[in-house]
């Protein structure tokens, strides 16, 4: 059913169609609209057979989800940013216990300084948590990923995080083809837990494992994600068959066949990137885009196959691994290690900084000409940071950096962004 | 591996698998069930398993209780009336509130048996051996009972017209009704014991001919006299004689005012009997103070209740018809009475001497190797005299003179004789450790002060020979039995089974004996870590913690 | 029947009273008890927590007819019961994290309800650290939502699993590794700590109770009562820890008993936020009797003894006795 609808509501309605049995909710922007919508659906009994728990923190949300899932219920929660960090301990625990929880992360920056706008720092911090991570390019993608996430999670007994850019997707109203209930029901069988707390067949879940077997436990977790690399395309194909919407599952190549330069990215920026590539191709720059949908497990082979023929790679990231640079980049470099393809990293869009098509085109052109630095920051106000760096060099006590920079930024009249949070 | 198919490796485990981990290897000490000696049992001169029969009585199985009791003492109904119950003086419960009323429960059981007509166990098949017993007092009867049970032929020769000894001719009927005495003695004799009455033995060597062993239990019947200057018509009697004649239905004439000289139980009985025989005043004159009186407190108290007058710290200097002179004494620094020279005249119609009894040893003339010291016959700790094959017990040997001691001697002598007859030497069983109160965990026992035995109305008491102290009703007897702490012995409270943090105590059906050496519980040493919690929380102190041999 | 026939020797103090009808038998006296946690666990010798857990869970198993699951916080109980490859649990059991037992249990309860299995009851359990400190947020949330969970805190008054550090339940003057017996004010400070039963009562949940391993019947009764109620319930059980308290392993029950008999650990129950019954002190003892047998208080009994500190602790006991009216029962 096609509808003009806000991304959060589209996701909520889709999650509802997956018939979750326990939803654990805790507010944080920009995820709030999702759980609000679900609450309305549960309380109005449009979504039956569902317990909606208003918990006391994200830590409790994930913990309740762990309990619910272990007791055999299909479970959902959503969070972002500080909330994701607040639940981290439980996030790792859920995957360690092999519980097929699905969680939406409405990607948002992490403070300090507190910032409610989009980037990928939150989800990226959990890249090694053992969860499967899928990144949505647009709201249709987000909707489809949620249905596939449940299938995948329950099939491989691992939790799945569906990442969608905060505000950019969650709050965007656009046309989305919402999966019909019948389609979802046909695609997603009822939850059959692999392990369950059941008096008729008792088990102890969550043993303490020492050095004698911990490595093996971790190895097996890795293998499970590796197996998911095969499961994901299969599920995507089945999803396509059920809904008519083609999804690759692991990666989304765009005009890469003859590309000299490829830009690799995650999430909603892929739309702007494709526009930039289209524009550049008109100007004779043969560029392409590789969208990564499955960041964990990371599809090394699919990436290698997609980028095999390009001359240069630019990895565009909405995260900064402070002290080294890119996060996705190092994964891409691992994939391309044998090819020697020059790869550079561009950090962009942190804390909601708009990524302009013009800037992206310039970035691609620079790369095409081989003029890009290993690590660069798109649209960085260099004057501002230079002044601050000079100040710190001059005196060890230069005052609060954020305040200084804000003063400088005001002077530079960079457009101010309101804060909510 | 205890993982389960389809579940995450190592993280999800099949239940109860820790049984593979034998934590018993941590142990440095191990708990062991024990039977410690309850202080009551330890103090009982008849060697009764008091804790054992109280345990049965607690649960209401009075017959089982009685059977356990008579295995050591065939006279529960008598004991329950005349025994001075040293067991109660030793009872651990006194540390909580008051001693268990063992004696009252014993009487309840004894009476219940008489009422129900429970029979003593039948004797074992005849052994062809025969034993002569001289004297049918408690000691002789007790020995006869045990020897007969063991299958020996038993012949008792008794000088008096009826069996019972001092139980019949000393202890007054108001304390021991004759029907009770007759019933218990009769039941005992019914097992095929040959009793010859009015058959005094004068020459032991002659009498014992034809017997494989002899047990002497002639008691102490000769009233001790003291030299007191007396006028010609002074009316002086001895207490044992008074009591005997009273028991024989030929009460002596004592007059309106009777003075009893002495401070023992016999003195009390003589004074109380005098009252019952119509004396207006019965006065006990004793050299020392009340706390030094050999008479039991309860007897003194009962005598006082009945109006007997006590003159402590007094001696009798001179007796005349109708009066006597009494001198006041005082205690010296060492607590010995010392004359003061202060005298006083006391109006009295008769003087009854209760200064103790001596043993008539004339029948022993000519028995070689027999040793007599201070008027009593020396025996070893197994009741054998210096003359092989001759045993003795009761009042005629050096010991406390009570019915219970006499019964105990009879039992001990019977055991020794039984061994002797089989050509063996009797050896005492090793005595287990005493279950003193510090070995108990008394927290677990409900508070319950002793129940008081009802007593007969005072008016009726001093005018008749009706029994003074009455028995407990069933409720009260059970209550009393349940006050027992079961010192040193398992009473199936399940505490060990409950408090073990390692679930290392196994429990079997009560009475099954399927546990550790015949108990109903067993320690599972595969898992017992030796923490000692079961030991500490065993209310009755029936578990020991012993070092593990490493 | 007369009054007297009600006397049953050990009354209900011992695990079993053979003189009482079988229907009154304690769960622990039943050879067929669940043994929710069975032999082979690695708790220290005389561990009160291992004992308390079996007492409580076996009672819950009986009350629920075996239809029960347990959720466990990290802590000694979890560590000594489930080191791979062995588990001591015989019931469905789950451990997630240190601070989230209440939330996990809420999730389990929700799942059971929504899947139509709410005949299966949920018990969550944690040490004092996992309850009063790190787990308090989720616990308070569980209370406030009135989720159908019985939460049992096994209070051994410190973080034992990590080697005896102070928790919000560590009593004043007790030495732990983070409140050592050194300096001018040795041991844990006065004027700190949380009284979780009262905090729980403030949530006005249907049932709050305290108990100890020294009074099995009382503990079992409370678990049974708790299991008969739906909604959030809290049971706070004092479980002495020989290691952390420096008491003899054989004294675990005794120490707990002295804690109640001195008035330091009041035993009571509360329905809907109101105290409805208290266990009267049977044989009152001065706090000194309790303190003396624990090495964690040894510094109070040096030369000269810390009489002021002992008096301060005594005052706490006296206050409890007043507050809960647990004076000795009239004889
Ligand atoms: C007045 C009085 C009250 C007492 N009250 C108590 C009391 O309440 N509780 C208590 O425990 N103790 C009491 N005693 C003590 C107790 O009665 C004796 O210690 C006990 O009876 C001794 O038992 P026995 O078998 O050794 O001797 P006895 O009971 O004296 O029996 C000896 C028997 O041997 C017979 N006999 C003696 N010589 C011969 C012979 N040559 N040939 C054949 N037969 C012979 C006697 O006729 C007698 O029947 C009391 C004693 C007296 C005197
Ligand atoms: C988040 C977190 N912080 C700290 C720990 C370390 N830790 C594990 S158990 C424990 C102490 C448990 O104390 P308590 O809850 O009182 O239980 P006890 O071991 O005393 O029974 C601590 C601090 C942890 N596992 N997780
Ligand atoms: S309490 Fe019982 S076993 Fe212990 S001394 Fe008294 S009567 Fe004997
Ligand atoms: S309580 Fe258990 S572990 Fe401790 S000594 Fe007794 S049987 Fe052994
Ligand atoms: S440290 Fe304490 S709580 Fe932990 S296992 Fe040992 S005794 Fe039990
Ligand atoms: Mg603790």
Min Cα distance A8 → chain C (Å) is 24
B529 touches C: beta carbon within 8 Å? yes
**Hey, are the CB atoms on A197 and C113 less than 8 Å from each other?**
no
Is C15 among the domain residues?
A: no
> Is pLDDT of B514 > 70?
yes
State residue A417's pLDDT score.
Answer: 44
Output the CA B167–ligand 1 centroid distance in Å: 6
Output the CA A165–ligand 6 centroid distance in Å: 43
Nearest chain A residue to B6, by CA: A194
Is C317 among the domain residues?
A: yes
Identify the domain containing residue C57 by its residue range: 24-323
State residue B466's pLDDT score.
Answer: 82
State residue B4's pLDDT score.
Answer: 57
Output the CA A277–ligand 1 centroid distance in Å: 128
**Hey, are the CB atoms on C100 and A210 less than 8 Å from each other?**
no
Is C7 among the domain residues?
A: no
Residues near B321 by beta carbon (within 8 Å), at least 6 away in sequence: B231, B232, B233, B234, B235
Handedness of CA B254, B260, B261, B264 (dihedral sign): positive
By most ligand atoms within 8 Å of CB, the mutation choice from C162, C242, C250 for ligand 5 is C242
Average pLDDT over residues B29-49: 97
Residues on chain A touching B6 (C-beta within 8 angstroms): 194-195
Architecture of domain B228-355: 3-Layer(bba) Sandwich (3.50)
The residue contributing the CA closest to ligand 5 atom 5 is: C43
Residues on chain A touching B12 (C-beta within 8 angstroms): 195, 203-207
Average pLDDT over residues A103-111: 97
State residue A13's pLDDT score.
Answer: 98
> Is pLDDT of B454 > 80?
no
Question: Which of C52, C250, C254, C259 should we substitute to test contact with B (largest number of B Cβ atoms within 10 Å)?
Answer: C250
Q: Which of B26, B446, B504 is facing C7, going by the closest CB pair?
A: B446
Find out whether B13 and C85 touch, Cβ atoms under 8 Å: yes
Ligand 2 contacts (CB < 6 A) are A 89; C 49, 74-77, 98-99, 126-130, 134, 154, 156, 159-162, 167
CATH code for the structural domain at B18-35+489-547 = 3.30.70.20
Of the candidates B480, B452, B456, B451, which has an alpha carbon nearest to the alpha carbon of residue B466? B456
- Which numbered atom of ligand 2 lies nearest the CA of C169? 16
Residues on chain A touching C35 (C-beta within 8 angstroms): none
Asked whether the whole model's pTM tops 0.90, one would answer yes
- For C207-242, write each residue's pLDDT tens digit: 999 999 999 999 999 999 999 999 999 999 999 999
Q: How far apart are CA B185 and CA B198, in angstroms?
A: 17
Architecture of domain B39-118+444-482: Orthogonal Bundle (1.10)
Distances (CA, A) of A225 to A104, A114, A175, A274, B512: 19, 33, 33, 29, 59
- For B290-316, write each residue's pLDDT tens digit: 888 899 888 899 999 999 999 999 999
Architecture of domain B130-221+359-421: 3-Layer(bba) Sandwich (3.50)
State residue A19's pLDDT score.
Answer: 98
Percent of chain C with pLDDT over 90: 92
**Cis peptide bond prior to C85, omega within 30° of 0:** yes
Q: Binning pLDDT at 50, 70 and 90, where does residue C4 land? A: very low
Find out whether B368 and B404 touch, Cβ atoms under 8 Å: no
Domains B18-35+489-547 and B228-355 share a fold: no
**Hey, are the CB atoms on A207 and B4 less than 8 Å from each other?**
no
Q: Which of C85, C104, C140 is facing A67, going by the closest CB pair?
A: C104
Q: Which of B6, B9, B12 is facing A204, going by the closest CB pair?
A: B12
Min Cα distance C149 → chain A (Å) is 12
Q: How far apart are CA B254 and CA B246, in angstroms?
A: 11
Q: How far apart are CA A195 and CA B15, in angstroms?
A: 13
Instruction: Name subunits touching A (3+ CB pairs < 8 A).
Output: B, C
Output the CA B183–ligand 1 centroid distance in Å: 18
Average pLDDT over residues A118-131: 98
Residues on chain A touching C100 (C-beta within 8 angstroms): 59-60, 63, 66, 89-90
Q: Find the helix packing angle between C48-64 and C252-261, rounded to 10°.
A: 80
Average pLDDT over residues A396-410: 69
Q: How many CB pairs under 8 A join A and C?
A: 165
- Which numbered atom of ligand 1 lies nearest the CA of B243? 1
**Hey, are the CB atoms on B446 and C81 less than 8 Å from each other?**
no
Q: Binning pLDDT at 50, 70 and 90, where does residue B81 land? A: very high
Question: Which of C109, C111, C147 should we substitute to test contact with A (largest number of A Cβ atoms within 10 Å)?
Answer: C111
State residue B229's pLDDT score.
Answer: 85
Question: Which of B1, B2, B11, B21 should we substitute to test contact with A (largest number of A Cβ atoms within 10 Å)?
Answer: B11
Residues comprising chain C, all counted? 331
Please report, for chain B, the start and end positions of each structural domain, with discontinuous segments joined by +. Answer: 18-35+489-547, 39-118+444-482, 130-221+359-421, 228-355
- For B485-511, write each residue's pLDDT tens digit: 999 999 999 999 999 999 999 999 988
Output the CA C175–ligand 5 centroid distance in Å: 16
> Is pLDDT of C2 > 50?
no
Percent of chain B with pLDDT over 70: 99
Q: Binning pLDDT at 50, 70 and 90, where does residue C246 land? A: very high
Q: How far apart are CA B404 and CA B409, in angstroms?
A: 9
Q: How far apart are CA C44 and CA C29, in angstroms?
A: 23
State residue C328's pLDDT score.
Answer: 67
State residue C1's pLDDT score.
Answer: 29
Encoded tokens for B296: 């039991």
> Is pLDDT of A418 > 70?
no
Distances (CA, A) of A184 to A132, A159, B406, B449: 21, 19, 98, 77
Domains and CATH numbers, chain A: 2-243 (3.40.50.970), 251-377 (3.40.50.920), 382-418 (no CATH)
Output the CA C286–ligand 4 centroid distance in Å: 29
By most ligand atoms within 8 Å of CB, the mutation choice from C125, C130, C132 for ligand 2 is C130
The finding on whether B158 has its CB within 6 A of some atom of ligand 1 is yes
A419 touches B: beta carbon within 8 Å? no
Q: What is the CATH number of the domain that holds C136?
A: 3.40.50.970
State residue A397's pLDDT score.
Answer: 62
Looking at every residue in chain C, the average pLDDT score rounds to 95
Average pLDDT over residues A362-390: 95
Distances (CA, A) of C71 to A98, B105, C101: 17, 53, 6
Handedness of CA B478, B481, B483, B488 (dihedral sign): negative
Q: How far apart are CA A327 and CA A310, in angstroms?
A: 21
State residue C195's pLDDT score.
Answer: 97
Considering only the C-alpha atoms of chain C, give the largest distance between any 2 of them, rounded to a whole number of Å: 65
> Is pLDDT of B228 > 90?
no
Average pLDDT over residues B317-336: 89
Rg of chain B (C-alpha set): 28
Of the candidates C164, C127, C172, C159, which has an alpha carbon nearest to the alpha carbon of residue C264? C172
Q: Which of C11, C16, C43 is facing B494, going by the closest CB pair?
A: C16
Average pLDDT over residues B118-136: 96
Output the CA C108–ligand 5 centroid distance in Å: 27
> Is pLDDT of B109 > 90?
yes
Average pLDDT over residues C258-273: 98
Residues on chain B touching A97 (C-beta within 8 angstroms): 8, 11
The finding on whether B51 has its CB within 6 A of some atom of ligand 3 is yes
Ligand nearest to the CA of B161: 1
Ligand nearest to the CA of B484: 3
Is C9 among the domain residues?
A: no
Average pLDDT over residues A246-251: 89
How many structural domains are present in chain C? Answer: 1
- For B252-265, write each residue's pLDDT tens digit: 999 999 999 999 99
Q: How far apart are CA C263 and CA C238, in angstroms?
A: 13
> Is pLDDT of B2 > 60?
no
> Is pLDDT of C6 > 80?
no
Nearest chain C residue to B23, by CA: C40
Question: Which of B8, B14, B21 should we substitute to test contact with A (largest number of A Cβ atoms within 10 Å)?
Answer: B8
State residue B5's pLDDT score.
Answer: 65
Question: Which of A197, A200, A210 should we substitute to test contact with C (largest number of C Cβ atoms within 10 Å)?
Answer: A197
Residues on chain B touching A220 (C-beta within 8 angstroms): 8-9
Residues on chain B touching A205 (C-beta within 8 angstroms): 7, 11-12
Of the candidates B268, B264, B186, which has an alpha carbon nearest to the alpha carbon of residue B220? B264
Residues near C305 by beta carbon (within 8 Å), at least 6 away in sequence: none
- For C63-80, write each residue's pLDDT tens digit: 999 999 999 999 999 999
State residue A411's pLDDT score.
Answer: 67
The finding on whether B91 has its CB within 6 A of some atom of ligand 3 is yes
State residue C19's pLDDT score.
Answer: 86
Q: How many CB pairs under 8 A join B and C?
A: 176
Q: How far apart are CA B136 and CA B217, in angstroms?
A: 7
- For B342-379, write each residue's pLDDT tens digit: 999 999 999 999 999 999 999 999 899 999 999 999 99
Helix (H) or strand (E) holding B157: strand B153-157
The finding on whether B157 has its CB within 6 A of some atom of ligand 1 is yes
- For A186-202, write each residue's pLDDT tens digit: 999 999 999 999 999 99
Average pLDDT over residues B128-150: 97
Average pLDDT over residues B423-450: 91
Q: Find the helix packing angle between A382-394 and A401-412, rounded to 10°.
A: 140
- Which numbered atom of ligand 2 lies nearest the CA of C77? 21
Residues on chain B touching C97 (C-beta within 8 angstroms): none
3-state secondary structure chain A: CEEEEEHHHHHHHHHHHCCCCEEEECCCCCCHHHHHHHHHHHHCCCCCCCEEEECCCHHHHHHHHHHHHHCCCCEEEEECHHHHHHCHHHHHHHHHCCCCCEEEEEECCCCCCCCCCCCCHHHHHCCCCCCEEEECCCHHHHHHHHHHHHHHHHHHCCCEEEEEECCCCCCCEEEEECCCHHHHHHHCCCCCCCCCCCCCCCEEECCECCCCCHHHHHHHHHHHHHHHHHHHHHHHHHHHHHHCCCCCCCEEEECCCCCCEEEEECCCHHHHHHHHHHHHHHCCCCEEEEEECEEECCCHHHHHHHHCCCCEEEEEECCCECCCECCHHHHHHHHCCCCCCCEEEEECCHHHCCCCHHHHHHHHHHHHCCCCCCEEECCCCHHHHHHHHHHHHHCCCCCCHHHHHHHHHHHHCCCCCCCCC
> Is pLDDT of A406 > 80?
no
């Amino acid at each position: 059913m096609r509808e003009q609808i806000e991304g959060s509501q589209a996701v909520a309605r889709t999650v509802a169609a997956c018939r979750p049995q326990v939803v654990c909710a805790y507010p944080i922007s920009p995820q709030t609209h999702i759980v609000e919508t679900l609450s309305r659906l549960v309380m109005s009994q449009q979504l039956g057979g569902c317990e909606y728990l208003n918990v006391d923190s994200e830590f409790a949300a994930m913990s309740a989800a762990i309990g619910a899932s272990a007791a055999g219920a299909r479970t959902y929660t959503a969070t972002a940013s500080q909330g994701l960090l607040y639940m981290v301990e439980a996030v790792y625990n859920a995957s360690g216990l092999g519980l097929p929880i699905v969680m939406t992360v409405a990607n948002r920056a992490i403070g300090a300084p507190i910032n409610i706008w989009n980037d990928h720092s939150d989800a990226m911090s959990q890249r090694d948590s053992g969860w499967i991570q899928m990144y949505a390019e647009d709201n249709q993608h987000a909707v489809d990923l949620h249905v596939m996430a449940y299938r995948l999670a329950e099939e491989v007994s691992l939790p799945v995080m569906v990442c969608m850019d905060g505000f950019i997707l969650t709050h965007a109203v656009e046309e989305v083809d919402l999966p019909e209930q019948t389609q979802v029901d046909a695609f997603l069988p009822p939850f059959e837990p692999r392990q369950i707390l059941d008096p008729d067949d008792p088990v102890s879940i969550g043993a303490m494992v020492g050095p004698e077997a911990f490595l093996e436990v971790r190895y097996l977790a890795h293998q499970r994600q590796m197996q998911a690399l095969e499961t994901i395309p299969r599920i995507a194909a089945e999803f396509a068959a059920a809904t008519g919407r083609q999804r690759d599952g692991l990666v989304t190549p765009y005009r890469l066949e003859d590309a000299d330069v490829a830009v690799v990215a995650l999430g909603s920026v892929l739309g702007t990137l494709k526009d930039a590539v289209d524009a550049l191709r008109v100007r004779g720059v043969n560029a392409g885009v590789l969208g990564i949908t499955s960041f964990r497990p990371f599809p090394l082979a699919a990436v290698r196959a997609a980028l095999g023929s390009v001359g240069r790679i630019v990895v565009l990231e909405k995260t900064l691994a402070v002290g080294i640079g890119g996060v996705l980049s190092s994964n891409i470099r691992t994939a391309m290690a044998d090819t020697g393809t020059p790869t550079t990293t561009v950090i962009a869009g942190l804390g909601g900084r708009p990524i302009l098509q013009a800037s992206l085109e310039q970035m691609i052109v620079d790369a095409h000409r081989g003029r890009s630095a290993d690590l660069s920051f798109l649209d960085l106000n260099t004057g501002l940071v230079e002044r601050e760096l000079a100040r710190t060099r001059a005196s060890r006590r230069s005052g609060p950096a954020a305040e200084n920079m804000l003063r400088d930024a005001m002077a530079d009249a960079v457009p101010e962004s309101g804060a909510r949070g | 591996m205890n993982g389960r198919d389809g579940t995450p490796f190592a993280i999800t485990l099949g239940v109860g698998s820790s049984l593979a981990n034998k934590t018993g290897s941590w142990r440095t000490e191990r708990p062991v069930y024990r039977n410690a000696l309850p202080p009551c049992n330890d103090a009982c001169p008849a060697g009764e398993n008091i804790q054992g029969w109280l345990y049965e009585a607690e649960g209401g199985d009075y017959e089982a209780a009685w059977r356990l009791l008579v295995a050591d003492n065939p006279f529960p109904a008598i004991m329950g009336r005349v025994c001075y119950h040293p067991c109660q003086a030793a009872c651990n419960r006194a540390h909580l509130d008051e001693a268990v009323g063992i004696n009252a429960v014993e009487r309840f059981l004894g009476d219940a048996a008489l009422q129900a007509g429970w029979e003593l166990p039948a004797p074992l098949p005849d052994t062809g051996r025969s034993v002569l017993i001289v004297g049918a007092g408690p000691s002789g009867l007790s020995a006869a009972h045990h020897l007969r049970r063991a299958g020996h032929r038993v012949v008792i020769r008794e000088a008096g017209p009826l069996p019972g000894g001092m139980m019949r001719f000393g202890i007054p009927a108001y304390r021991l009704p004759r029907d009770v005495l007759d019933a218990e003695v009769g039941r005992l004799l019914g097992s095929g014991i040959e009793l010859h009455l009015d058959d005094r033995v004068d020459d032991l060597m002659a009498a014992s001919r034809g017997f494989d062993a002899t047990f002497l239990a002639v008691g102490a019947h000769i009233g001790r006299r003291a030299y007191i200057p007396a006028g010609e018509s002074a009316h002086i009697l001895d207490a044992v004689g008074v009591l005997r004649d009273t028991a024989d239905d030929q009460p002596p004439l004592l007059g309106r005012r009777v003075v009893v000289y002495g401070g023992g139980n016999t003195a009390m009985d003589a004074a109380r009997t005098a009252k019952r025989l119509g004396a207006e005043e019965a006065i006990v004159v004793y050299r020392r103070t009340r706390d030094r009186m050999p008479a039991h407190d309860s007897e003194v108290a009962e005598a006082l209740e009945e109006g007997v007058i006590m003159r402590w710290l007094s001696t009798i200097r001179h007796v005349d018809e109708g009066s006597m002179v009494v001198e006041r004494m005082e205690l010296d620094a060492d607590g010995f009475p010392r004359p003061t020279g202060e005298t006083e005249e006391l109006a009295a119609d008769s003087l009854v001497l209760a200064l103790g009894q001596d043993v008539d040893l004339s029948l022993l003339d000519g028995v070689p190797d027999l040793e007599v010291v201070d008027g009593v016959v020396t025996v070893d700790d197994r009741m054998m005299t210096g003359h092989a094959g001759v045993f003795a017990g009761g009042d005629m040997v050096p010991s406390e003179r009570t019915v219970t001691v006499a019964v105990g001697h009879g039992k001990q002598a019977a055991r020794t004789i039984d061994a002797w007859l089989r050509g063996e030497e009797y050896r005492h069983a090793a005595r287990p450790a005493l279950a003193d109160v510090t070995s108990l965990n008394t927290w677990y026992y409900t508070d319950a002060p002793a129940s008081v035995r009802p007593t007969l109305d005072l008016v009726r008491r001093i005018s008749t020979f009706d029994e003074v102290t009455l028995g407990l009703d069933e409720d009260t007897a059970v209550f009393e039995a349940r006050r027992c702490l079961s010192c040193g012995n398992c009473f199936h409270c399940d505490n060990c089974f409950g408090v073990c943090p390692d679930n290392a105590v196994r429990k079997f059906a009560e009475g099954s004996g399927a546990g550790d050496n015949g108990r109903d519980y067993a320690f599972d040493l595969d898992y017992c870590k030796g923490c000692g919690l079961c030991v500490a929380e065993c209310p009755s102190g029936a578990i020991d913690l012993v070092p593990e041999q490493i | 029947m007369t009054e007297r026939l009600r006397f049953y020797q050990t009354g209900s103090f011992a695990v079993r009273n053979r003189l009482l009808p079988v229907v009154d038998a304690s769960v622990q006296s039943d050879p067929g008890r669940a043994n929710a946690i069975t032999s082979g666990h690695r708790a220290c010798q005389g561990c009160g927590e291992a004992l308390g857990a079996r007492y409580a869970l076996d009672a819950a198993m009986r009350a629920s007819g075996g239809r029960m699951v347990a959720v466990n916080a990290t802590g000694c109980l979890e560590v000594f019961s489930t080191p791979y490859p062995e588990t001591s649990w015989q019931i469905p059991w789950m451990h997630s994290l240190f601070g989230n037992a209440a939330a996990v249990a809420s999730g389990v309860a929700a799942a059971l309800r929504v899947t139509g299995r709410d005949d299966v009851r949920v018990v969550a359990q944690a040490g004092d650290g996992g309850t009063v400190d790190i787990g308090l947020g989720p616990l308070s949330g569980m209370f406030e939502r009135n989720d159908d969970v019985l939460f049992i805190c096994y209070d051994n008054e410190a973080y034992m699993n990590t080697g005896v550090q102070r928790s919000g339940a560590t009593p004043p003057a007790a030495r732990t590794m983070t409140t050592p017996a050194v300096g001018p004010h040795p041991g844990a400070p006065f004027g700190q700590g949380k009284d979780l039963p009262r905090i729980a009562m403030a949530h006005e949940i249907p049932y709050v109770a305290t108990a100890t391993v020294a009074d099995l019947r009382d503990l079992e009764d409370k678990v049974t009562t708790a299991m008969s109620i739906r909604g959030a319930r809290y049971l706070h059980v004092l479980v002495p820890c020989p290691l952390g308290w420096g008491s003899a392993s054989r004294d675990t029950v005794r120490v707990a008993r002295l804690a109640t008999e001195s008035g330091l650990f009041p035993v009571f129950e509360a329905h809907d936020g109101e105290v409805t019954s208290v266990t009267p002190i049977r044989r009152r003892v001065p706090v000194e009797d309790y303190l003396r047998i624990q090495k964690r208080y040894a510094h109070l009994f040096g030369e000269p003894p810390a009489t002021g500190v002992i008096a301060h602790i005594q005052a706490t006991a006296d206050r409890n006795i007043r507050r809960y009216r647990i004076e000795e029962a009239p004889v």
